[in-house]
C-alpha cells in the first residue's frame, strides 16, 4: 500500500441503482491502496445496487452518507462512476447536482468515467474544460461548453479545478492512475 492519499477523503457519488460496478470498485480500491478514505455518497440512505454491462444485477453496497449529509469541506476529491442510468438519475436529483457544483466551486479535483460526466453537464461546470467520456455524450458536453476528445484518459486543469476523465471500463488502468495523481 502506498501513502499518497493518506488523510484524504474521496467521495464516490452514485445513484441508488445503475452504477457500473467495475467503474465504482476499481477506483475505490485504488483510493484505498493509496491510503485514502473512500466514502460512498448517494441520494438516499441504505444500499445501492450496482450493475454489470448496464443490465445485469451486480452487488449491493452500503451507503456511507447521503448528499445532504456529506459536507463538501470534508471531501478532498470526487469520483463520478458511470453506467448509463446512474448519472442520468443523479442529474435529475437537485441535491446531487448542487453537491457536484459545490465540489467544483470549492476547487476540488473530480474524476469521471464513461457516462459520469452527464452530471457535470447538468451542474453547468464544463465551460472551457477539455474532457473525454463515452462517445454518446460528446454533443451534450459540447453543448455545455466543454471540448470533447477521444482519449483513453484526459486530465484538464483548466478553470481552476482538475478534471480527470476516461471513456469506458477498458480505460480503468489509465483512469485510476491519473485519478490518484489528481487527488494527491
Predicted pLDDT at 1: 72
Catalytic residue among 3, 52, 75, 115: 115
Summarised one tens digit per residue, pLDDT across range 47-86 is 999 999 999 999 999 999 999 999 999 999 999 999 999 9
Predicted pLDDT at 114: 98
115 has catalytic annotation: yes
Low pLDDT (below 70) residues in the chain? none
The domain locations on the chain are: 9-183
For the entire predicted model, the pTM comes to: 0.98
Catalytic residue among 3, 52, 114, 154: 114
Predicted pLDDT at 6: 96
Predicted pLDDT at 159: 77
Task: End-to-end CA distance of the chain: give it in Å, rounded.
Answer: 15
Predicted pLDDT at 24: 98
Any long-range contacts for 135-140 (C-beta under 8 Å, 24+ apart)?
Answer: 135/167
CATH of domain 9-183: 3.40.50.880
75 has catalytic annotation: no
Is residue 28 within 8 Å of 38, Cβ to Cβ?
A: yes
Amino acid at each position: 500500500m502506498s501513502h499518497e492519499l493518506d488523510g484524504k477523503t474521496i467521495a464516490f457519488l452514485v445513484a441508488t441503482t445503475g452504477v457500473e460496478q467495475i467503474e465504482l470498485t476499481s477506483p475505490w480500491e485504488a483510493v484505498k491502496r493509496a491510503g485514502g478514505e473512500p466514502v460512498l455518497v448517494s441520494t438516499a440512505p441504505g444500499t445501492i445496487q450496482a450493475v454489470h454491462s448496464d443490465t445485469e444485477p451486480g452487488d449491493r453496497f452500503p451507503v456511507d452518507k447521503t448528499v445532504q449529509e456529506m459536507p463538501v469541506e470534508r471531501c478532498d476529491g470526487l469520483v463520478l462512476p458511470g453506467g448509463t442510468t446512474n448519472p442520468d438519475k443523479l442529474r435529475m436529483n437537485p441535491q446531487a447536482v448542487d453537491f457536484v457544483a459545490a465540489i467544483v466551486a470549492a476547487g476540488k479535483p473530480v474524476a469521471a468515467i464513461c457516462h459520469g460526466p452527464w452530471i457535470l453537464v447538468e451542474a453547468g461546470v464544463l465551460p472551457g474544460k477539455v474532457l473525454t467520456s463515452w462517445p454518446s455524450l460528446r454533443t451534450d458536453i459540447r453543448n455545455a461548453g466543454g471540448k470533447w476528445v477521444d482519449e483513453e484518459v484526459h486530465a484538464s486543469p483548466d478553470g481552476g479545478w482538475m478534471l480527470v476523465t476516461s471513456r469506458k471500463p477498458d480505460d480503468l488502468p489509465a483512469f485510476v492512475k491519473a485519478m490518484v495523481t489528481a487527488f494527491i
